[in-house]
Structure 1
Amino acid sequence: MLGKLIVVAAFAAILYNLGAGLYYMMTDKGTTDRTLHALTRRITLSVALIMLVMAGIWAGWIHPHGVNG
Structure 2
Amino acid sequence: MKILAILLLLSILYTLGSAVYYMIKDKGNSTRMVKALTARVILSLTLFAIMMLWVYVEYIHGT
Partner residue in 2 for 1:16: 14
Separation (CA, whole Å) in 1 of partners of 2:52 and 2:13: 21
Task: Answer with 1 or 2: which has the greater Rg.
Answer: 1
Q: Quote the Cα distance in structure 1 between the aligned partners of 2:10 and 2:39.
A: 13
Q: Tell me the number of residue pairs that the alignment of Structure 1 and Structure 2 aligns.
A: 63
| Match of residue 7 from structure 1 | 5
Distance, in Å, in 2 between the alignment partners of 1:62 and 1:52 is 11
Could you state the TM-score of these two structures normalised by the residue count of structure 2? 0.94
Q: Which runs of 4+ in 1 moved over 2 A?
A: none
Alpha-carbon distance, 1:7 to partner: 0.4
Following superposition, the deviation at residue 61 of structure 1 comes to 1.3
Root-mean-square deviation (CA), in Å? Answer: 0.9
**Residue in structure 2 matched with residue 58 of structure 1 by the alignment:** 56
- Aligned counterparts of 1:55 and 1:4: Cα–Cα separation in 2: 13
TM-score, normalising length: structure 1: 0.87
Tell me the equivalent position of 2:24.
Answer: 26
Alpha-carbon distance in 1 for matches of 2:24, 2:48: 29
Task: State how far apart, in whole Å, the 1-side matches of 2:61 and 2:2 are.
Answer: 12
What stretches of structure 1 of length at least 5 have no aligned partner?
A: none
Query: Secondary structure at 1:63's aligned position in 2?
Result: coil
